């Protein structure tokens, strides 16, 4: 084997000093959450639904991955609570360069191209139906509004790119005349042909810019746009529609391993109704403005035996909760959270009392400590299980939310399994180093000695597999807070992908490494890589959790802490390999449910053994054991109507005999 020290020396003399190790953050080339649920969503979409009646409203809360098919015709945009920064309420629709199958558009390029659409279903703008049906007129003061944000936690749209809003005038057409080569009486000639398309009219657009520039100009993270609809002849019809669309471009067009998604826009709180006016910028709504926080202090997930060894210090002292009031008046509200395990009733409830929530426009997010910083005055029960899950449900009740608002409840599912993680399992970007010889080390600390068996990594796919390059998988011990001695190193590992939702690829070590005092001072160890090329390995990067203090990189010389506030999707596996993940093993009597957890309730259920699908029924039971749903079995199932939580899924045959069981977690 060639001496690695000699190789490093060659690289050192061949690479200029200016090219020493750099961190690079890129967008995604594949969105695995969209790709995993694309098949199920396609079956749900239909264009035969009856036109909607006013009001039209969607704040994209309570759903994930795809828009609500009851309101929207297409499924290009990504519904999530990860990409937005300080949204009006939790949940946004993100426009980017990735299609409804979760991959870069086939016509994507470094130059502006048409990307995502978000098109409403037909809406009855000809009449109102309450208290009695009557024709809508201009006197009804019809207005359309929404919030938008460029970039968010993604890539800033270029100035040449844009976000566009269009209204459809049903029955109105645009005529396009174009030349066609044809043959008339045996002679090649060119004639002019015509085509007719629906009359989409642009009513608003904005050019791309960074979030910093956006905020510097208006001092808001999301800007509200309010548009009057006063052209009654053109738009007051029974088949009115509106749509958003964006022009996007690749973040980089130089090398395949760096080309990725870009030009993100987030929109929220889309509202169309009568009896409004141009300054109607307030909404009767008190809700959450951020996803539910994690209950653990140091990790997002960890082995249960590691938690048991130091459970007091592993729990947070308090939580950070963002509650907002979008109106201009105060509302009396109550807040609580409750914690449950598996299918059982809550074993702990915190009640924050009542408080008058002031408008966000005057006071920002709620600062009342029992609401904004609720204490974590409990610990998760101490047991001996290898896998266990707890759900924390946060609820705000107020007189403002008299309608069907879904932003008054958020949930977090705490997983205890056989790995350590700082990430939430969802990549918003990719992380890479350059040049060749660059090293990455990720720091972890145990509460008790354990066995390191493998390292899980989540790699983003890149254009034409440009990041599939061999690297060294390395393990270090600690030396005064930085990587110390190299304990394990093996060349030949490559980025690899699992097809299912957010599945990490497991790289098994040649031999078990005992993490114990002596060899690993303070039970601290580091896992990471050394690159053999300058290509971007593009490991998943979670912008919603900050593990920069545990992220180190270098080429030669001193280690440096990461300059970015995010979490790498790298997880050391301890104890037992088979415990990792939630899906059941493929053995007789166990249903294979994926994705699991499901962020939107759209899942695929594979049958155990050689069971015939005729006459099968699916029963879904909640935490109290009661059946909450019964449906005919199909491989693609829609459980999107169920709230977040744990469920038991049972498959029964025509004789009502249970022939398969599986657990499902819905975590929005």
**pLDDT score, position 635:** 82
> Is the pLDDT confidence value at 330 over 90?
yes
pLDDT band at 613 (very low <50, low <70, confident <90, very high): low
Which pLDDT does position 289 carry in this prediction? 95
Q: DSSP labels for 502-527?
A: TPPEEEEEEEEEEE-TTTSGGGEEEE
Highest mean pLDDT among 125-139, 388-402, 488-502, 621-635: 125-139
CA–CA dist 535, 466 (Å, integer)? 8
pLDDT at 30: 55
Question: 419 φ, ψ to 5°?
Answer: -140, 160
In a 10 Å sphere around its CB, with 0-12 CB exposed, 13-18 middle and 19+ buried, how is residue 578 labelled?
Answer: exposed
Across 4-13, 484-493, 497-506, 623-632, least confident range: 4-13
| Structure tokens belonging to residue 19 | 């090219």
Which helix (H) or strand (E) segment is 36 a member of?
helix 32-44
CA angle 155, 158, 161 (to 5 degrees): 110
pLDDT of 35 above 90 = no
Looking from the CA of 230 toward its CB, the CA atoms found within 13 Å total: 8
> In the predicted model, is pLDDT for residue 655 greater than 90?
no
564: burial class by Cβ within 10 Å (0-12, 13-18, 19+)?
middle
CA distances from 557 to 12, 351, 479, 491 (A): 11, 53, 15, 21
Query: Is the pLDDT higher at 654 or at 270?
Result: 270
Q: What is the C-alpha to C-alpha distance for residues 492 and 486, in angstroms, rounded to an integer?
A: 17
Asked whether residue 274 carries a pLDDT value surpassing 70, the answer given is yes
Number of H helices, E strands in the chain: 8, 39
Contact 457, 504 (CB under 8 A): yes
- The predicted pLDDT at position 639 comes to 86
CB 583 within 8 A of CB 665: no
Average pLDDT over residues 194-223: 87
pLDDT at residue 496 greater than cutoff 80:
no
The better pLDDT of the pair 353, 622 is held by 353
What does the pLDDT average to over 310-317? 95
Q: What is the CA radius of gyration of the chain?
A: 27
CA distance linking residue 8 with residue 657, whole number of Å: 65
Strand duo 223-228 + 323-325: pairing: unpaired
Any idea what DSSP says for residue 461? P
Largest CA distance in the chain: 94
- Which pTM does this prediction carry? 0.77
Question: Is it the case that residue 271 has pLDDT exceeding 50?
Answer: yes
Class of residue 184 by CB neighbours under 10 A (exposed 0-12, middle 13-18, buried 19+): exposed
pLDDT at 28: 62
Asked if the bond preceding 217 is cis, omega within 30° of 0, the reply is no
Give the residue, 580 or 98, on which the prediction is more confident.
98
358 pLDDT band, cuts 50/70/90, is very high
Q: How far apart are CA 493 and CA 580, in angstroms?
A: 20
pLDDT at 187 (0 to 100): 44
Mean pLDDT, range 586-611, rounded to an integer = 71
User: 322 by DSSP, 3-state: which?
Assistant: coil
φ/ψ of 43, rounded to 5, equals -75, -20
Summarize the confidence of residues 233-238 as an average pLDDT.
93
Distance CA 189, CA 335 (A): 75
What pLDDT score was predicted for residue 632?
Answer: 85
Average pLDDT, the chain: 82
pLDDT of 193 > 60? The answer is: no
Predicted confidence band at 18 (pLDDT cuts at 50, 70, 90)?
very low
Instruction: Report the alpha-carbon distance of residue 432 to residue 27 in Å, rounded.
Output: 11
- How far apart CA 281 and CA 220 sit, in angstroms, is 14
**DSSP one-letter code for 383:** -
The dihedral through the CA atoms of 288, 290, 294, 298 has a sign that is negative
Spatial neighbors of 575 by CB under 8 A, at least 6 apart, are 303, 305, 386, 418, 450, 451, 453
User: Residue 591 pLDDT more than 70?
Assistant: yes
Burial-class residue 139 by CB neighbours within 10 Å (0-12, 13-18, 19+).
exposed
Which residues does 652 contact at the CB level (< 8 Å), separation at least 6? 616, 617, 619, 658, 659
Q: Say what the pLDDT of residue 406 is.
A: 77
Q: How many other C-beta atoms can be found within 10 angstroms of the C-beta atom of residue 569? A: 25
Minimal CA–CA distance to 493: which of 506, 477, 478, 482?
Answer: 506
For residue 417, give both structure tokens: 């399994």
Burial of 201 (C-beta count, 10 Å sphere; 0-12/13-18/19+): middle
Residue of 485 and 262 predicted with greater confidence: 485
Best-predicted range by mean pLDDT (5-14, 90-99, 258-267, 316-325): 316-325
Hey, is 437 helix, strand or coil? coil
Q: What is the pLDDT of residues 416-473, one digit of tens each?
A: 999 999 999 888 888 989 888 999 999 999 999 999 999 999 887 655 555 567 889 9
> What pLDDT, on the 0 to 100 scale, is given for residue 177?
45
Q: Say if residue 595 is preceded by a cis peptide, omega within 30 of 0.
A: yes
Q: Give the per-residue SS3 of 335-346.
A: EEEEEEECCCCC
Confidence label for 597 from pLDDT (cuts 50, 70 and 90): confident
The CA distance from 643 to 468, in Å, is 39
For residues 199 and 269, the model is more confident at 269
Domains and CATH numbers, the chain: 4-22+420-579 (2.60.120), 32-168+205-273 (2.60.120.260), 304-416 (2.60.40), 592-666 (2.60.40.10)
- Convert 74-132 into a string of H (helix), E (strand) and C (coil): CCCCEEECCCCCCCCCCCEEEECCECCCCEECCCCCCCCEEEEEEEECCECCCEECCCC
Once rounded to an integer, what is the mean pLDDT over residues 34-53?
60
Tokens in use for 341?
A: 């395990």
């Amino acid at each position: 084997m060639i001496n690695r020290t000699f190789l490093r020396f060659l690289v050192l003399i061949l690479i200029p000093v200016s090219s020493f190790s750099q961190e690079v953050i890129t967008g995604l080339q594949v969105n695995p959450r969209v790709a995993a649920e694309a098949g199920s969503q396609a079956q749900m979409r239909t264009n035969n639904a009856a036109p909607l009646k006013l009001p039209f409203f969607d704040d994209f809360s309570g759903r994930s991955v795809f828009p609500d098919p009851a309101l929207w015709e297409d499924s290009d945009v990504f519904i999530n609570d990860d990409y937005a920064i300080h949204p009006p309420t939790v949940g946004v629709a993100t426009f980017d360069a990735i299609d409804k199958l979760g991959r870069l558009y086939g016509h994507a390029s470094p130059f502006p191209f048409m990307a995502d659409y978000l098109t409403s279903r037909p809406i009855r703008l000809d009449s109102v139906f309450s208290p009695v049906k009557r024709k809508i007129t201009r006197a009804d003061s019809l207005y359309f509004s929404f919030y938008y944000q460029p970039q968010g936690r993604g890539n800033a749209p270029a100035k040449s790119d844009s976000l566009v809003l269009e209204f459809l005038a049903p029955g109105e057409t645009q005529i396009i005349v174009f030349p066609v080569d044809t043959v008339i009486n045996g002679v090649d000639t060119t004639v002019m042909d015509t085509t007719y398309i629906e009359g989409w009219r642009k009513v608003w657009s904005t050019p791309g810019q960074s979030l910093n520039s956006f905020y510097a100009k208006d001092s808001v993270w999301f800007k509200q746009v309010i548009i009057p609809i006063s052209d009654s002849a053109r738009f007051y019809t029974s088949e009115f529609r509106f749509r958003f669309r964006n022009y996007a471009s690749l973040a980089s067009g130089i090398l395949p391993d760096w080309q990725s998604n870009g030009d993100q826009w987030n929109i929220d709180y889309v509202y169309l109704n009568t009896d409004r006016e141009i300054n109607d910028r307030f909404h009767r709504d008190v809700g959450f403005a951020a996803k539910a926080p994690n209950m653990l202090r140091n990790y997002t997930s960890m082995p249960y035996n590691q938690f048991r060894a130091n459970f007091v210090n592993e729990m947070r002292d308090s939580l950070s909760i963002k509650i907002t009031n979008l109106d201009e008046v105060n509302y009396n509200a109550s807040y609580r959270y409750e914690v449950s395990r598996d299918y059982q009733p809550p074993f702990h409830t915190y009640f924050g009392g009542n408080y008058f929530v002031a408008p966000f426009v005057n006071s920002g997010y709620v600062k009342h400590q029992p609401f904004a910083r609720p204490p974590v005055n409990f610990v998760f029960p101490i047991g001996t299980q290898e896998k266990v899950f707890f759900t924390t449900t946060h609820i705000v009740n107020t007189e403002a939310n008299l309608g069907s608002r879904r932003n008054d409840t958020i949930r977090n599912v705490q997983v205890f399994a056989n790995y350590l993680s700082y990430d939430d399992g969802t990549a918003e970007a990719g992380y890479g180093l350059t040049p060749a010889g660059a090293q990455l080390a990720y720091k972890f600390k145990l509460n008790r000695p354990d066995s390191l068996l493998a390292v899980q990594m989540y790699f983003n796919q890149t254009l034409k597999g440009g990041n599939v390059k061999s690297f060294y998988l390395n393990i270090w011990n600690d030396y005064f807070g930085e990587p110390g001695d190299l304990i394990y190193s093996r060349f030949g590992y490559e980025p690899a992908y699992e097809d299912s939702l957010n599945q990490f690829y497991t790289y098994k070590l040649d031999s078990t490494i005992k993490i114990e005092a002596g060899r690993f001072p303070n039970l601290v160890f580091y896992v990471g890589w050394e690159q053999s090329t300058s290509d971007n390995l593009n490991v998943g990067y979670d912008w919603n959790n900050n593990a920069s203090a545990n992220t180190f990189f270098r080429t030669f010389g001193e280690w440096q802490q990461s300059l970015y506030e995010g979490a790498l999707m790298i997880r050391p596996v301890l104890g037992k390999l088979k415990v990792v993940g939630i899906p059941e093993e493929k053995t007789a009597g166990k249903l294979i449910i994926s994705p699991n957890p499901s962020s939107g309730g759209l899942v695929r259920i594979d049958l155990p053994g050689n069971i015939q699908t005729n006459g099968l029924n699916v029963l879904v039971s909640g935490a109290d054991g009661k059946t909450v749903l019964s449906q005919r079995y199909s491989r693609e199932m829609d459980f999107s109507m169920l709230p977040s939580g744990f469920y038991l899924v049972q498959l029964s045959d025509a004789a009502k005999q249970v022939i398969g069981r599986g657990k499902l977690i819905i975590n929005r």
